[in-house]
Structure 1
Amino acid sequence: MYNKFDKLMIKGSIMHTLKNVAPVIWIIIAVLVLCAGLILIFNTTLAWSIIEWSVAALILAVGLIYLFSVFIKTTEQKLKALGIGALCVLGSAALFAMPRLIGGTFGLVSAVLAIIIGLLVLLNAFKLRRDGAGWTGTLITAAAYLAIGFAMFFAESGGRLFSVLLGLYFVVFSFNIFGDALVSLMGNNTAAQKYKRKVRVPLPTFIAAFLPMKMLRTVNHLVEEDPDELLLVERPEQRHEPDMEIYIHTREGFIPGMGHVDIAVGDQVYTYGNYDDATWKLGGFFADGVMVEMDRETHIRMSLEVEKKVLMVYGLALKPEQKKAILERIAALKADMIPWEPLAQQAEKGEIEGNPEDYQDVASQTYRNSRGRFYKFKKGNPFKTYYAVGTNCVKLADSIVGQSGIDLLRVNGIITPGTYLDYLDSLYERGDSIVVARKLYYPENSDAGRE
């Protein structure tokens, strides 16, 4: 039924641009990142001098490229290229004259981000406490983010603290790059694979959050430039059929572009979100948490034909004990749920007046399109209240997928679909994990996202 969708798949990785680079280059990059991290930790002045001059030179190079491109651009593009080039050249001149602006700006932005994340995590802690769920660990995490953010913002040693934290991140991230190179060089060597499984550094949240948008832009560009590039590309060495799938959605628009995550086990899809818009607070940032269970085929059709979304699907091959643990986790969640009916379903049963089509709330539209089964959570369950950057779709999906025993995404701050997209994509690219399949579903007749 879905041959026209199944044949569409992105050719190669969207996120990992180093996939086809020789492992020796990976090692060189890892060494450079490691050296940058060590310099940031032990010689802040030298590190920032290098960063400041490098950033200024890079901006200047970009500006010159844009200015030179004026001679090969079409008439309508020349003005845009000229403006961007001039701004970059002027900006680089200002940075060469006042290089300290770069370090100060980086530190200030990082401090503000840490404070914002801390406040958002603190809201999650209060939400969990109100719902009667465990909240102490979340409160401690919020306090750590706030302490680091205020220290970088107000303390005299804030710049030094930022350098040390950034340096530590670079050091650990260099081991992540080195692990990719090691696994690539040693192939199926068991020791190398075990090493790589132990080393995983996710992208910073504020970067990963926008990965679904990047995926959407890349897909739209490929469709526009060369539709034949969207072909089904399965790994020849793949030997396992997926036992469960993870769906990452995205579509045009800032909030929808951030993405959504569902999981499928067998023929059933489980999706969690703020479907009851009668309980929305702050525009749906908070709401009653609703779990929807629907058929897999219906879910794909609704996402593509009705919602006009792009779906990246990752398939997991599970051992019997892993699949059993996942099914037990789903059963445990369902035991803590209460069936709930959208207004359209109530009207269909004659429990309220009106026709089902009269109700246009989110839950009613989802019910009409999916014929799914809806549930809310009991008090004491952390998913009782949906929270966009805390107990959200990714958090619930990860609580189920985590039963597989794979090296899970460990995020103590804000959890986004983009972070999960980066994580699953890296597991697939690695080739030694239980993530054995990756497909792209694109709505053929949709103009969403095209310019």
Structure 2
Amino acid sequence: MMTLLYLLLLPMLSGIGMLGLGPALMAGRAGAAHVVLLLSGLLLPLRGLMYLLLARRRGNRPGRMSVLLAAVELLLGAGLLLLPQLSVRLFAVVVAVYLTLLVTVEAVNAILYGRMRRWGAFFPAMAAAAGGTGLFVLIVFVPALRDAALRYTAALLLTVFGTGLVCDVLALTIRSRRVRRVLGSIRVALPDLMSLFLPQRTADVLPRAPLGPVPQQGTEEFELLFQTSAHGIGLVGHCELCFDGRTLTYGAYDPAHQRLLRTVGAGIVFSAPREPYLRWCIGTHHRRVISYSLRLPPAQAAQLRAELERFRQTLSPWQPEALPEDCFAGRLRRLGGVRFWRVQRGPYATYFIPTINCVSLTNELLEKTDIGRTVMLGLKTPGAYLDLLEREYLAGNPAVTARRVYDRI
């Protein structure tokens, strides 16, 4: 019952409420902003509490990080409900801080796309950076326009995410493949701040199993893996595609080319034998692995393999022999059977943690399958993509055939 509430009722009510509040905010209706804050105060802690309750009901012990996040969300929700006057100012501060992050990310995107001469991506990134900067100036330095800027920003976000939530629920309840594909084409992922730590929470909730042999062998079967750990960057998670008994992983694994606090680096791809590699990750690095098995129609499987082959054409062999043992690739090379490449051209030649990452690559490769492409505003987080797979699995999408959590048990 709780899963059904999370899957259908809560997203539908949230989406309808967002769609109704968006125009009210744009029209300057009195009280609309306070209704937004009230709903935020009610809904913000609900997701975390539901994950904790689901974990307990399924006999799992929630991790300390999940408990801490739920407590922080509960305190923030109480603050929004009990301090309405402070809430408006706090909302302005949160928006300003988030805009600073977003403008920085889009500015770096524009620089990277410009260097790669990807003008189709360069100009939207520049426009987003300029628009975010203008909105930041209005909110921080022009008090007379601050309220209007916040109203319109909130209204736009409410309309976008409200439409996405309603389309998600309709796609889950309507069985027609044609309708699902249309609705999936306008699917909007969770806001990045809500999905940031979702892999860790999901691993807390789901039943855990020991790692077994590769669950897929046919040319039409694939596996999406989400790794998560309780510390460091592993909290956010990492996405990998597995097929033919091997994992395909994309990241910035060359320390010689990392810059901007290790957020930017040369795009490196490695392929490793699935079971030894996952055992190494689980045993040595204390990772938990959330696995979604995919079985695609023959035409879609052939299309995905063609996309993978086109991606391979951009790669050239890379040898990490000179890397020190204290870096990830330096340790991984000792596993055996691991092959490394560097992306020489194309959009993934340069890796950028917030946007040009493992999630954006996976999202692009699976765009023309029944999984579809997800619109991710702002940061491209593994949690946002995991949420998509979880919804598709619970809704009975035939393309998502199984779900497991591999852990040391």
Normalised-by-shorter TM-score class: 0.7 to 0.9
The percent identity for this pair of structures is 23
Code of the aligned partner of 2:374: L
Cα offset, 1:325, TM superposition: 1.9
The partner residue of 2:105 within 102, 120, 124 is: 120
Tell me the equivalent position of 1:432: 397
Residues 270 and 99 of structure 1: CA distance in aligned 2, closer, same or farther (over 3 Å) = same
Indicate the SS of the match to 1:152. Answer: helix
Tell me the equivalent position of 2:387: 422
Code of the aligned partner of 2:197: F
The partner residue of 1:364 within 330, 334, 349 is: 330
Code of the aligned partner of 2:330: S
Tell me the equivalent position of 1:48: 33
Cα offset, 1:43, TM superposition: 3.9
Judge conservation of contact 1:180–1:430 (CA < 8 Å) in 2: no
Residues 160 and 128 of structure 1: CA distance in aligned 2, closer, same or farther (over 3 Å) = same
- Which whole-Å CA distance do the structure 1 matches of 2:29 and 2:377 have between them? 28
Judge conservation of contact 1:242–1:317 (CA < 8 Å) in 2: yes
User: What pairs with 1:239-318 in structure 2 (closer than 5 Å)?
Assistant: 243-318=221-296
Cα offset, 1:286, TM superposition: 1.6
Judge conservation of contact 2:208–2:406 (CA < 8 Å) in 1: no
- Which whole-Å CA distance do the structure 2 matches of 1:56 and 1:281 have between them? 39
Tell me the equivalent position of 2:158: 170
Code of the aligned partner of 2:106: V
Indicate the SS of the match to 1:314. Answer: strand
Give the structure with higher Rg (CA): 1
Judge conservation of contact 2:239–2:359 (CA < 8 Å) in 1: yes
CA deviation digits over 1:8-53, x for unaligned, max 9? Answer: xxxx9xxxx5525796787555544443344333344312344567
Tell me the equivalent position of 1:146: 133
Tell me the equivalent position of 2:184: 197
Judge conservation of contact 1:343–1:359 (CA < 8 Å) in 2: no
Cα offset, 1:167, TM superposition: 3.0
Code of the aligned partner of 1:163: R
Judge conservation of contact 1:289–1:386 (CA < 8 Å) in 2: yes
Cα offset, 1:292, TM superposition: 0.2
TM-score normalised to structure 2 length: 0.77
Residues 33 and 249 of structure 1: CA distance in aligned 2, closer, same or farther (over 3 Å) = same
CA deviation digits over 1:289-338, x for unaligned, max 9? Answer: 11001222223222222222111112222122222222222222222211
User: Which 5+ residue runs of structure 1 have no aligned equivalent?
Assistant: 1-11, 60-83, 223-228, 233-239, 346-357, 445-451
Deviates more, 1:324-333 or 1:399-408: 399-408
Judge conservation of contact 1:141–1:412 (CA < 8 Å) in 2: no
The partner residue of 1:323 within 301, 314, 323 is: 301
TM-score normalised to structure 1 length: 0.70
1:408 aligns with 2:408: no
Residues 196 and 299 of structure 1: CA distance in aligned 2, closer, same or farther (over 3 Å) = same
User: Which 5+ residue runs of structure 2 have no aligned equivalent?
Assistant: 45-70, 211-217
- Which whole-Å CA distance do the structure 2 matches of 1:118 and 1:317 have between them? 39
Tell me the equivalent position of 2:202: 215
Cα offset, 1:283, TM superposition: 3.9
The partner residue of 1:332 within 275, 287, 310 is: 310
1:399 aligns with 2:364: yes
- Which whole-Å CA distance do the structure 2 matches of 1:278 and 1:263 have between them? 26
Cα offset, 1:256, TM superposition: 1.5
Tell me the C-alpha RMSD between the 2 structures: 3.6
Residues 170 and 436 of structure 1: CA distance in aligned 2, closer, same or farther (over 3 Å) = farther
Indicate the SS of the match to 1:386. Answer: strand
The partner residue of 2:149 within 140, 145, 161 is: 161
- Which whole-Å CA distance do the structure 2 matches of 1:57 and 1:280 have between them? 41
Code of the aligned partner of 1:150: V
Code of the aligned partner of 1:166: A
Indicate the SS of the match to 1:404. Answer: coil
Aligned residues: 370
Cα offset, 1:420, TM superposition: 1.3
Residues 421 and 144 of structure 1: CA distance in aligned 2, closer, same or farther (over 3 Å) = farther
- Which whole-Å CA distance do the structure 2 matches of 1:108 and 1:169 have between them? 16
Judge conservation of contact 2:220–2:301 (CA < 8 Å) in 1: no
1:381 aligns with 2:346: yes
- Which whole-Å CA distance do the structure 2 matches of 1:166 and 1:185 have between them? 28
Residues 399 and 196 of structure 1: CA distance in aligned 2, closer, same or farther (over 3 Å) = closer
